[in-house]
Chain A
């Protein structure tokens, strides 16, 4: 079953209460004759009861079904993706992404799936 993924502008601070997140890179990973969309992101906690800090992570919306096929009400591009639910596929994709990004983004170890 497909779902929508809204593409945020790269490096833009998407602000919320207490902090913001940034998508610093988005890319497609070839996997079993399909393409997996993944985002390199950072979440910043700036103002919270427990201090300041943050976490870098990789977010995987899913397999690309339709690339940037329309715009949403805010003018941001929207893609159609198929969520990845199979645990074995998730494990293989996590390993492939970690391998791909090891040199460019050291210390990015957490991979989350939609």
Chain B
């Protein structure tokens, strides 16, 4: 049986009230007020689609053996690298093995569902036992556009396997159309779209019912057979038309969370699916639709195993951890939409030494430390000589990943001179649970959130961005432990 064995989600902590956008930019395009309800999730300055995917993947893998993962698929239309596989960065941060299959899926908003489909079909074909699918997007609309209002940042992840399946994959049906509603050229920063009516009436309202009808015909199903139908569509009026056209009751339609997250692009259907699984019951049939350059439909049936899945943060838990981003200009700077002066230190050249990065890739990406096989003392960064003064064994270690262990604040300070788009820079020393001490940046927090001995989690983030060479460089940072924030 192939299907979903676990799910996870991640919504960035910062939420931007859409009326703040309207207040700043409504003068240039006043009709954007129709999209100005609620708030949207905004990635922190040190987050991007890769870090969001890692956070969702970490949530998904809670309680599962990372060493058992046979592949990592990453889906996004805002991947930071065109050449350098983004899925490898995600796999490294999730402490996956080296002998796995990795792939980036992009080029369409249905990339998320296509990646999920590829993973379940790999499992069904017996080519792998366990695959991770991580999807995330941080799309940008130009200032003053409806896209700026609608787009939100989020990630979702699924562990697909043939063991302990909570939602069995039952089948799929796809449509491929070169229907150009939204598009970005190879070097475009911002989304462009064609006319709303065309997208709404010919795109969403036609293709989604077509795809659902195709799947139903293929498997002799009726739309009424599904407990939940998950599909993306940011036009609320069109959602009602689509529901009527397919013949769905309001209870069958999964909420799109547009008013609290926004449309998260390639991740949107998967974010909605993760939310649907939070409330799903054994026997529920779930229909997932991905939209963009056509449609993917995937049909799942929830199993009894869903009751045995350990509680996780998921979409609901992640949504509950929130802070208002009460400054539109800060949003623009964080998303690199406008230049801001961060001081002369910010102009220093950032050299990325790829040979050094390769030598330390597991330490940097996976936060891999080591543990003395003689006395059990854990160390991070990894040591060659055991730091236990009563041991001092040489070269007798086994690797240990510490990224999910958390720690306690040993010391911290804030620095208004350090170059950062979110001053003050806060950094300090963290004692890792079970052993090891490391100096880290603190993020997703204010100075008053921190105290010596307070618990922290580790979060995979952009350590720096080199604009000269377009290099996104990642490392782990400390964030206040989620349970304490919530």
Which residues of A line the B interface, CB within 8 A?
13, 19, 22, 24, 42-44, 46-47, 52-56, 105-108
Contacts and interface: CB of A to CB of B under 8 A. Distances in A.
Given A13-B237, A106-B22, A106-B23, A42 B33 contact: yes
A56 B31 contact: yes
Contact of B29 (A24, A47, A53): A53
B196 A107 contact: no
Interface string B24-35: 001101110110
A55 B237 CA distance: 20
Interface in B202-242: 237
Contacts of B34: 22, 24, 42, 44
Nearest to A22: B34
Nearest to A103: B23
B30 A56 contact: yes
Nearest to B237: A13
Q: Which 8 A-B pairs have the closest CB atoms?
A: A54-B31, A46-B197, A107-B26, A56-B30, A107-B30, A46-B196, A47-B197, A47-B195
Nearest to A12: B237
Given A42-B34, A107-B30, 13 more contacts: A13-B237, A19-B197, A22-B34, A42-B33, A46-B195, A46-B196, A52-B196, A53-B29, A53-B31, A56-B31, A105-B33, A106-B23, A107-B26
B99 to A, nearest CB: 51
A106 B196 CA distance: 24
B64 interface: no
Contacts of B196: 44, 46, 52
B179 interface: no
Given A53-B31, A56-B33, A106 B195 contact: no
- The B interface is mostly helix, strand or loop, or mixed, namely helix
A8 B382 CA distance: 69
A22 to B, nearest CB: 7
Given A13-B237, A106-B22, A106-B23, A52 B30 contact: no
- Of B23, B26, B34, chain A has the most CB atoms within 10 Å of the CB of B34
Interface of B: 22-23, 26-27, 29-31, 33-34, 195-198, 237
Contacts of A44: 31, 34, 196
A105 B34 CA distance: 11
Contacts of A42: 30-31, 33-34
B237 A54 contact: no
A54 B197 contact: no
Contacts of A106: 22-23, 26-27
Nearest to B23: A106
A55 B34 CA distance: 11
A106 B30 CA distance: 9
Nearest to A105: B33
A105 B23 CA distance: 9
A52 B193 CA distance: 11
Contact of A47 (B23, B26, B33, B198): B198
Contacts of B29: 53-54
A44 to B, nearest CB: 6
A55 B30 contact: yes
Nearest to B200: A46
A54 B30 contact: yes
Contact of A107 (B27, B195, B197, B198): B27
A26 to B, nearest CB: 16
Nearest to B25: A107
Nearest to A44: B31
Contacts of B197: 19, 46-47
Contacts of A13: 237
Nearest to B34: A42
Contacts of A105: 33
A34 to B, nearest CB: 29
A106 B237 CA distance: 25
14 contacts: A13-B237, A22-B34, A24-B33, A42-B34, A43-B31, A46-B197, A47-B197, A53-B29, A55-B31, A56-B31, A106-B22, A106-B27, A107-B26, A107-B30
Contacts of A108: 30
Nearest to B29: A53
A42 B30 CA distance: 9
A24 B37 CA distance: 12
Nearest to A57: B30
A56 B34 CA distance: 10
A95 B38 CA distance: 29
A43 B33 CA distance: 11
A57 to B, nearest CB: 9
B36 to A, nearest CB: 10
A5 to B, nearest CB: 22
Nearest to B199: A46
A71 B237 CA distance: 24
- Of B22, B27, B29, B30, chain A has the most CB atoms within 10 Å of the CB of B30
Contacts of B27: 106-107
A42 B195 CA distance: 17
Nearest to A18: B197
B17 to A, nearest CB: 14
